[in-house]
């Protein structure tokens, strides 16, 4: 059974005596995470187990605690000698307790939320177009239903992949050192 840790108890822990891992997507992590947390998305956790098997307890974090608990259950078999805890209520509880977040970018929706919204809008558009103009538009809604079924069965979401390539989901690119124009460098 995985332990839970309350926000108040986590704040009392010395930071170097635990490993804080946020299992949310990179865009969710960038929009706001607990100071000192590292991002290892839930879907990458199995390939990153060597990074987790340090000599300090592991505290898993997500938005509300659900994904962190699922990740803890996954790790329980592979890291049986490791102390694993889940932050009760996740970053939502952290915020409600007035604790600070580190934000790398402006708040964005997770890819999963973007895909659900896009799918819903396309299904609704297909339905309305079928009623208003031509019944053949219902095929648009059927295509989205087929795509969602495919995504559920294979864990490959073409809409999520497409949305992940959109400009608003890209990491900002900036140079750490400003480039100098050699023509003006004297």
Indicate which residues carry an active-site annotation.
62
**What count of residues does the chain have?**
186
């Amino acid at each position: 059974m995985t332990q839970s840790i309350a926000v108040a108890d986590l704040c009392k822990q010395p930071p170097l005596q635990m490993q804080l891992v946020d299992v949310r997507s990179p865009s969710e992590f960038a929009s706001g995470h607990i100071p000192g947390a590292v991002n290892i998305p839930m879907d990458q956790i199995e390939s990153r187990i060597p990074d987790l098997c340090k000599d300090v307890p592991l505290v898993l974090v997500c938005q509300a605690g659900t994904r962190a608990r699922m990740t803890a259950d996954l790790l329980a078999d592979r890291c049986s000698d490791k102390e694993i805890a889940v932050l009760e209520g996740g970053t939502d509880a952290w915020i409600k307790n007035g604790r600070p977040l580190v934000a790398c970018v402006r708040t964005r929706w997770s890819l999963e939320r973007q895909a659900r919204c896009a799918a819903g809008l396309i299904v609704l558009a297909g339905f309305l177009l079928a009623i208003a103009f031509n019944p053949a538009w219902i095929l648009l809604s059927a295509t989205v239903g087929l795509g969602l079924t495919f995504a559920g069965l294979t864990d490959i979401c073409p809409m999520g992949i497409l949305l992940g390539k959109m400009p608003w989901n890209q990491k900002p690119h900036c140079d750490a050192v400003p480039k100098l124009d050699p023509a003006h460098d004297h």
